[in-house]
Amino acid sequence: MRNIMWTIFFVLTLGLTAADKPNIIWIFSDDHSYQTIGAYGGRLAHLNNSPNIDSLAKEGMIFNRCYVGNSICAPARATLLTGKHSHKNGKFDNRDPFNHDQQQFQKLLQKSGYQTAMIGKIHLHGKMQGFDYWEVLPGQGKYYDPDFVTEEGKTSYKGYVTDIITDKAIDWLDKKRDKNKPFMCMIHQKAPHRNWQPAQRHMELYEDIEIPEPANLFDDYSNRATPSATQDMSLEKTMRMKQDLKTDPSLDNKRSKDFYANPLTGKALVKWKYQQYLKDFMRCTKAVDENVGRVLEYLKESGLEKNTIVMYSSDQGFYMGEHGWFDKRMMYEESYRTPFLVKWPGTIKPGSVNTDLVQNIDFAPTFLDICGVEIPADMDGVSVVPLLKGEKPADWRKHLYYTYYEYPAVHSVRRHEGVSGKRYKLIRYYGPDVENGEEWELFDLKTDPGEMNSQYSNPEYASVVAELKKELINMRKKYQLPTEGPDALYKIVPRKKKPKKK
């Protein structure tokens, strides 16, 4: 009798557990700035570029202070899979190989009985591990008629990359997966990565609209350390007419004809570049948003909606002309911050806004926590599940740590590290081509949200600087980075290549 009772008990509990395991859809884009997501507000919100992504905020939670640990593509993806800062997973910059043999959250999910799929752009060379199904773009991939790589090899497809990635994901969800198991499906868009090539259907979108400029489009980089001036990612000097703006006498398109009929120079040229750049970028993000809508629609139709968590994020933020820039890398807000929105029916209170400090090291532990898998102690991040449930742990972090290593390299952004709290941000630039080998900045985001004036040398902020310097060392200890001497970080990623003289 007792044995029968136990059997019934186990069947009931195990049966319940399997049915209750939530599915996760993780939609991740490449370089999607929060400034172009309506739910984040700001000067571009009225353009209504992202109604479907915005719906995740309406029906779920938007994170207003989600940051990355190293604002550059491939390292951010390594952090996504490992839950670790770059120095722990070995992917410091876009050029390093990624060690696929290391621990990654999807391997742990797979072991626990989840089905795992990765579709789209991962930008980590080598064979993916821990995915039951993977179909990825080789390297950066192409916008039009892209190739995809699977276990079996490479195949070409006709059409627009954002649509095709979504087709493949829906096909996997609908036909290819084992429907007796819970799943984690990662849909990774290539868009809106440079050079911002829109779908044919969006070529005219925003054509007759004047896109509002940021107040600091013509930043003169005064009152800051030298790296804000010595970067090479400005609309004025770096953005290319042909490759980026699709404007050249050899091209047969309206933009080229209009431009060369009345060529512009100086500030007028920067303003014109800004308009074309923003329009192409937002045409690309429009397609991303439409495809988020397709996924949400599929979940509804298939009956999966109720038990499926949908998360949206990007590998980092991006400059939409702020400081005169495009690209990322710097610890300034626009590229340090990244969008993060989560819909979890029945668990997240609709319309929730979270302002706690969250970082991309937290994504992997969060996935594991949601799926009831133990979080390995060596992951740097922590689960945000309590935040999703509307609880705020009393000991939630007060500061975040940041590092950027890819120098000398394209865009010439100097190596730096920093620590930020909700109000203040301390940045330390170091290594060659930084004045005296080390420069500092302190920003007060409350009085200077555009980060136009470093308060590092202002005596009124001396105690803040002292406190954050202490915190910087605490962070290095916490994440097991060397703490001795100004060169300590440089030594962990030495590079022999000299930067090109500009």
Binding region for Ca ion (CB under 5 A) out of 160-168, 279-287, 308-316, 433-441: 308-316
Q: Give the span between the Cα atoms of 209 and 187, in whole angstroms.
A: 31
Q: Give the span between the Cα atoms of 408 and 501, in whole angstroms.
A: 11
Residue 310's nearest CA partner among 338, 348, 356, 266 is 348
Q: Cβ of residue 412: shortest distance to Ca ion, in angstroms?
A: 18
Q: Which structure tokens are listed for 342?
A: 């989560």
Closest to Ca ion by CB, 73 or 165: 73
Q: Cβ of residue 30: shortest distance to Ca ion, in angstroms?
A: 4
Binding region for Ca ion (CB under 5 A) out of 124-132, 152-160, 314-322, 443-451: 314-322
Q: Cβ of residue 141: shortest distance to Ca ion, in angstroms?
A: 12
Binding region for Ca ion (CB under 5 A) out of 31-39, 44-52, 134-142, 475-483: 31-39
Binding region for Ca ion (CB under 5 A) out of 61-69, 72-80, 342-350, 416-424: 72-80
Binding region for Ca ion (CB under 5 A) out of 68-76, 178-186, 199-207, 273-281: 68-76
Largest CA distance in the chain: 91
Closest to Ca ion by CB, 30 or 219: 30
429 in Cβ contact with 439 (< 8 Å): yes
Closest to Ca ion by CB, 123 or 428: 123
Closest to Ca ion by CB, 335 or 412: 335
Q: Cβ of residue 32: shortest distance to Ca ion, in angstroms?
A: 9
Work out whether 73 is an interface residue with Ca ion (CB under 5 A): yes
Closest to Ca ion by CB, 327 or 417: 327
Closest to Ca ion by CB, 54 or 315: 315
Q: Cβ of residue 146: shortest distance to Ca ion, in angstroms?
A: 17
Q: Cβ of residue 72: shortest distance to Ca ion, in angstroms?
A: 7
Work out whether 30 is an interface residue with Ca ion (CB under 5 A): yes
The site map against Ca ion for 264-303 (x = CB under 5 A) is ----------------------------------------
Q: Give the span between the Cα atoms of 382 and 92, in whole angstroms.
A: 21
| Strand ranges across the sheet with 424-430 | 400-404, 416-420, 424-430, 438-444
What is the residue whose two structure tokens read 């910087």?
Answer: 472
Packed helices 363-370 and 73-82: angle between N→C axes, nearest 10 degrees: 30
Q: Cβ of residue 396: shortest distance to Ca ion, in angstroms?
A: 27
Neighbours of 257 (CB within 10 A): 12
Closest to Ca ion by CB, 53 or 452: 53
287 forms beta bridges with none
| Strand ranges across the sheet with 153-156 | 153-156, 147-150, 133-136, 115-120, 183-188, 23-29, 308-314, 340-343, 61-63, 352-354
**DSSP characters over 292-361:** HHHHHHHHHHHT-GGGEEEEEEESS---SSGGGB-S--SSSHHHHB--EEEE-TTTSPTTEEE-S-EEGG
Work out whether 315 is an interface residue with Ca ion (CB under 5 A): yes
Work out whether 31 is an interface residue with Ca ion (CB under 5 A): yes
Determine whether 221 is exposed, middle or buried from the number of CB atoms within 10 Å of its CB (0-12, 13-18, 19+): middle
Q: Cβ of residue 94: shortest distance to Ca ion, in angstroms?
A: 9
Q: Cβ of residue 79: shortest distance to Ca ion, in angstroms?
A: 12
Closest to Ca ion by CB, 73 or 465: 73
Closest to Ca ion by CB, 31 or 471: 31
Helix (H) or strand (E) holding 283: helix 266-302
Q: Which structure tokens are listed for 444?
A: 């007060």
413 in Cβ contact with 406 (< 8 Å): yes
Mode of pairing for the β-strands spanning 183-188 and 23-29? parallel
CB burial readout 176-197, b (16+ within 10 A) else e:
ebeeeebbbbbbbbbbbbbbbb
Binding region for Ca ion (CB under 5 A) out of 70-78, 154-162, 296-304, 402-410: 70-78
Packed helices 266-302 and 161-171: angle between N→C axes, nearest 10 degrees: 20
Binding region for Ca ion (CB under 5 A) out of 25-33, 55-63, 102-110, 289-297: 25-33
The site map against Ca ion for 166-195 (x = CB under 5 A) is ------------------------------
Q: Cβ of residue 268: shortest distance to Ca ion, in angstroms?
A: 30
Give the nearest residue (CB) to Ca ion.
73
Q: Cβ of residue 124: shortest distance to Ca ion, in angstroms?
A: 12
Q: Which residues bind Ca ion (CB under 5 A)?
A: 30-31, 73, 315
